[in-house]
Structure formats: structure tokens, C-alpha cells
């Protein structure tokens, strides 16, 4: 009963303890971006796209998040299709060409393996725009496999700040005699812990700098609609999904 939760708790403690400096610096960069009118663009395929949704339009979350949610890379439009598309050269660039990037924006990309073409091309594209780039992946998994990109690079090689979700090779963490495969995947939970920690630190820095963070109130609290709508108007031109 406790094996999965205990494994996650251990990963969280190791993840935060070993990456305090990276989290602090990335939170300072994001806070500075927000103060200058920038937004946080978030990109992930497969299960990784859930981390983009985790911090978008979320109760207690910030309004400065722009999730890049391409239907072709999501599992509900075909699991095999999503896997094929993230390996096709040019697909990520075609998605990002429709996004407006400004000089003060920050780009977060999530890929557990960090080996597929789409996330690597996405970072290369955004690096050409001179934005700060941050990634979340499993370093152990990335180091155990070859890149599928022609450069031979992995995701963590290419971003300005690379965060390790401390996941096991193959993502799943549990094993039992009698079956070959591991079970109990961890990358989504660990990614969400990392982004929520990062966003929380960013909010606290903004407050310390006398900046009121643009935070969403739960739509299920009384009188929240008006305050949310007023805030959304300030970001509607920068974040298409708020319209």
C-alpha cells in the first residue's frame, strides 16, 4: 500500500534538495519576466502536456502562463499518432511558428526522456528567439538512451536551466517478482511538484518586490468571477486560451 507513495516522497525530497539553486535562479528569472510584462510559455507532448495544464487557469495559480497544447501531440487524439508526431522533424517548429514570443518571455518544455525530436526542435527554435529556456526531464532516463534528433543532443543539453525530475529509467518505479515490467510511473507527479514549487517561489519573489501577482481565484468561490475576468483581460492578448 505504501510503496508507491514512499517512492514519490523520497523522489520529492531528493529533487528539491539537489536543485535548490536551480529553482531559486529560475524563480528569479520568471519573476523578472513577469514584472516586465512577459509570460511563461509551456510545451510538452504525451503525458507531459498535463504539466502545462496544471499551472494554467488553475485556482491559486498565475495568469501569466501560456500552455501550448497541440492536439496532435495529445493522447486523446490517438496514442500511436502522438508518438509518431513527436518524432517527425519540423512538426514542433510548425506549432511554434503560430506563437507570439516577446523578448521578456520564458519558455518551459517538459519531456521525461528528453530524446525525441519535437522537444529538442522546440528548444532550438525558441533559443533562436533569445528567450530563457527551462526544461524538466529525467536525467537518468536521458543518459540511458540515444537522442532521436540528428544533433545527438538531449533536452537537458540545450536549455539554459535543466531540472531533473529524479525519475527512474523507464519512468515506472515499482517492481515485483513474477512480472518483467516495472509499474507506477512518476514523471507527471514529479513534474507537477517542480512547476508548483517554481511558481510558488516566483509568486513569493513578486510579493517581496511589492508586485501583486495576478492569481486566479477558484471559480467555485463566491464573487470570484468578476475578479478573475478583470485579471484575464490584462493577459487576453498574450494568451490565446484566455479569450
Mean per-residue pLDDT, 59-66? 96
In the chain, % of residues over pLDDT 90? 95
Using an 8 Å Cβ cutoff, are 137 and 108 in contact? no
In the predicted structure, residue 28 carries a pLDDT above the cut 90: yes
**Is residue 223's pLDDT more than 90?**
no
pLDDT at residue 243 greater than cutoff 90: no
Radius of gyration of the chain (CA): 18
C-alpha cell at position 52: 502545462
150-191 pLDDT, tens digit per residue, is 999 999 999 999 999 999 999 999 999 999 999 999 999 999
Alpha carbon of residue 224 to chain centroid:
27
pTM for this predicted structure: 0.95
pLDDT at 112 > cutoff 90: yes
Q: What share of residues in the chain are helix, strand, coil (percent, to 5)?
A: 50, 15, 35
Residue 3: per-residue pLDDT: 97
Q: What's residue 5's pLDDT?
A: 97
Report the pLDDT averaged over residues 181-205: 97
Cα(67)–Cα(213) distance, integer angstroms:
18
Work out the pLDDT band at 35, boundaries 50, 70, 90.
very high
Indicate whether 109 pLDDT > 90: yes
Taken in order 37, 204, 114, 50, the sign of the CA dihedral is negative
| Contact status, residue 85 vs residue 73, Cβ threshold 8 Å | yes
Dist. CA 16–CA 166, nearest whole Å = 10
How many domains does the chain fold into?
1
Beta strand spans in the chain (E): 40-44, 65-68, 106-110, 132-137, 161-164, 172-174, 183-185
Kind of pairing between the strands at 172-174 and 161-164: unpaired
pLDDT of residue 194: 97
Query: In this structure, are residues 103 and 32 in contact, taking their beta carbons and an 8 Å threshold?
Result: no
Tell me the longest C-alpha to C-alpha distance in the chain. Answer: 58
Residue 168's DSSP bridge partners are: 171
Give me the domain span that covers residue 126: 3-242
**pLDDT surpassing 90 at residue 46:** no
> Cβ of 181: how many Cβ atoms within 10 Å?
8
Q: Please tell me the distance from the alpha carbon of residue 58 to that of residue 27, in angstroms, as a whole number.
A: 19
CB 242 within 8 A of CB 230: no
Query: How many other C-beta atoms can be found within 10 angstroms of the C-beta atom of residue 114?
Result: 28
CATH code of residue 185: 3.40.50.10490
Phi-psi region of 8 (alpha: psi -120 to 50; beta: other; left: phi over 0): alpha
Three-class DSSP labels, 8-32: HHHHHHHHHHHCHHHHHHHHHHHHH
How confident is the prediction for the chain on average, in pLDDT? 95
Amino acid at each position: 500500500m505504501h510503496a508507491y507513495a514512499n517512492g514519490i516522497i523520497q523522489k520529492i525530497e531528493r529533487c528539491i534538495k539537489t536543485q535548490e539553486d536551480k529553482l531559486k535562479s529560475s524563480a528569479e528569472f520568471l519573476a523578472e519576466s513577469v514584472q516586465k510584462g512577459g509570460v511563461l510559455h509551456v510545451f510538452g507532448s504525451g503525458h507531459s502536456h498535463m504539466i502545462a495544464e496544471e499551472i494554467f487557469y488553475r485556482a491559486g495559480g498565475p495568469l501569466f502562463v501560456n500552455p501550448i497544447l497541440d492536439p496532435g501531440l495529445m493522447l486523446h487524439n490517438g496514442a500511436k499518432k502522438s508518438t509518431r508526431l513527436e518524432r517527425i522533424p519540423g512538426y514542433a517548429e510548425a506549432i511554434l511558428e503560430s506563437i507570439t514570443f516577446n523578448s521578456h518571455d520564458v519558455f518551459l518544455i517538459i519531456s521525461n526522456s528528453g530524446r525525441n525530436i519535437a522537444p529538442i526542435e522546440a528548444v532550438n527554435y525558441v533559443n533562436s528567439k533569445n528567450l530563457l529556456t527551462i526544461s524538466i526531464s529525467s536525467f537518468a532516463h536521458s543518459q540511458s538512451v540515444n537522442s532521436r534528433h540528428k544533433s545527438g543532443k538531449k533536452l537537458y543539453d540545450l536549455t539554459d536551466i535543466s531540472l531533473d525530475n529524479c525519475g527512474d529509467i523507464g519512468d515506472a518505479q515499482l517492481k515485483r517478482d513474477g512480472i518483467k515490467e516495472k509499474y507506477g510511473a512518476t514523471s507527471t507527479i514529479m513534474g507537477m511538484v517542480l512547476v508548483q514549487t517554481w511558481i510558488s517561489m516566483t509568486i513569493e519573489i513578486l510579493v517581496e518586490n511589492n508586485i501583486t501577482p495576478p492569481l486566479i481565484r477558484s471559480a467555485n468561490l463566491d464573487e470570484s468571477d468578476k475578479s478573475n475576468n478583470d485579471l484575464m483581460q490584462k493577459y487576453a492578448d498574450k494568451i490565446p486560451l484566455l479569450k
